[in-house]
Chain A
Amino acid sequence: MSEVISRDEVLKIVRDALSDILEIEPDTVTEGQSFADDLEADSLALIELVEALEEALSEKVAGFTIEDESLEDLKTVRDAVDYVYENANESV
């Protein structure tokens, strides 16, 4: 399977977005962190993240969206990276 975007690229995008939204250093964001417990991201911050990811990904994947129904399943940074990686490359 050829990739539109690599997993490392997705991780960087997620880290950068979280850094902007939560005003933290990107390097401090690790995949095992929970949005709620470790990063103290509230529901509004998560929506900010989703919109930031959609905007960042739209350059590489036309029409990329994160389904609202999937938001409940995104508990950790790893969940978000996996979701974006799989869905961005799904149609390739």
Chain B
Amino acid sequence: MLPVAVDAMGGDAAPQPNLEGAFAAVAAGTPVVMVGPEDLAGLTSGDVTLNLIPASEVIGMKDDPAQSVRKKKDSTLVRAAEAVRDGNASAMISAGNTGATMAAALLRMGRIQGVKRPAIATPIPVPGSTPTVLLDAGANADVQAEWLVQFALMGSVYARRGFGIENPRVGLLSIGEEPGKGDALRKEAYELLAHAQGINFVGNVEGRDVMSADIDVCVTDGFTGNVVLKTLEGSMQFLIGALLEAFAQPEYKDHADALMPALLPLYERFNPDTYGGAVLLGVDGVCIISHGSSSPTAITNGIAVARELVEHDLVGEIRDVIAAAMPTDSHD
């Protein structure tokens, strides 16, 4: 397969985590090409040498997303997206500026025909089950009801291709389970989703359901989705911190040691590094958006996810389901 393009300069501690993550991915059998400054050319670790697409500029975490993509045409993000567009890479991954990653992917790869707006889909871990795909996790603060239907379609494809869920159950995030609950947007979206073809809509869900095994895809606007995501991240950090603090007490040490074998796998499951990042759905290529603080493990896992989604033809199925839904949309 074509290599996965890795933005060498994306992330808080770049390029080190990206390089280490890339070396591990190549060692595990996934071809990778770094996109970064010339001085990264020829980097070697053991038997692995990383190929490089040169790019002289870097889009910073605080740069305006759309403007920076337009102004910094030789940036690592823009060159990575162009590599996918031009058939030199199969997918791209960046731990850099999320908005700019989205803008670069959208402007260079283009949108899949019929897609109103791309959405960021984030896998949320669920104890004892496959993750829930939460979207939109931040791409579109304001949305229209019909966009939410497309998010449901695209999220279902991701759940199928990414996590092997044959008939993903889609919930609409609201403030109550009954159909009449929520604001005007949610009520309109409920009606559209209830009558949409190709969506296994199970109705409204509440915030507490996001991490439950009752749904596979949770659809919402980007503002709400981002608040949910960040709230969950903060809650998990608090919980883990509180547990570690309690376990550090001398009187609990023996109990803590006994519990660790059970808790560590749980910790791994909730660790954002496990999935390597979110997926930008609706653009004409696979684009993984990783956390700015991604570890080398997160980058390695993100590269593996990118490879899997390319091999499982995520983009092809999104193209098909959006095309199939278009005649229905035009009647609405």
Q: Given A23-B114, A23-B116, decide whether A51 and B70 contact each other with a Cβ distance below 8 A.
A: yes
Q: Given A48-B106, A51-B107, A68-B71, decide whether A43 and B66 contact each other with a Cβ distance below 8 A.
A: yes
Complex Cα distance A68/B114, Å? 28
Residues on the B chain within 8 Å of A59, using CB: none
Q: Given A23-B116, A51-B107, decide whether A44 and B66 contact each other with a Cβ distance below 8 A.
A: yes
Residues on the A chain within 8 Å of B106, using CB: 44, 48
Query: Quick check: is A17 within 8 A (CB to CB) of the other chain?
Result: no
* A51: nearest chain-B partner, CB-CB: B107
Residues on the B chain within 8 Å of A51, using CB: 70, 107
Chain A interface residue count: which class? 10 to 19
Complex Cα distance A43/B141, Å? 12
Query: Quick check: is B65 within 8 A (CB to CB) of the other chain?
Result: yes
Residues on the B chain within 8 Å of A42, using CB: 140, 142
Complex Cα distance A42/B139, Å? 11
Query: Quick check: is A73 within 8 A (CB to CB) of the other chain?
Result: no
Q: What 1/0 flags go to B125-168 for Cβ under 8 Å of A?
A: 00000000000000010101000000000000000000000000
* A50: nearest chain-B partner, CB-CB: B70
Q: What 1/0 flags go to B152-186 for Cβ under 8 Å of A?
A: 00000000000000000000000000000000000
* B326: nearest chain-A partner, CB-CB: A23
> Is there an interface contact between B70 and A40, defined as CB atoms closer than 8 Å?
no
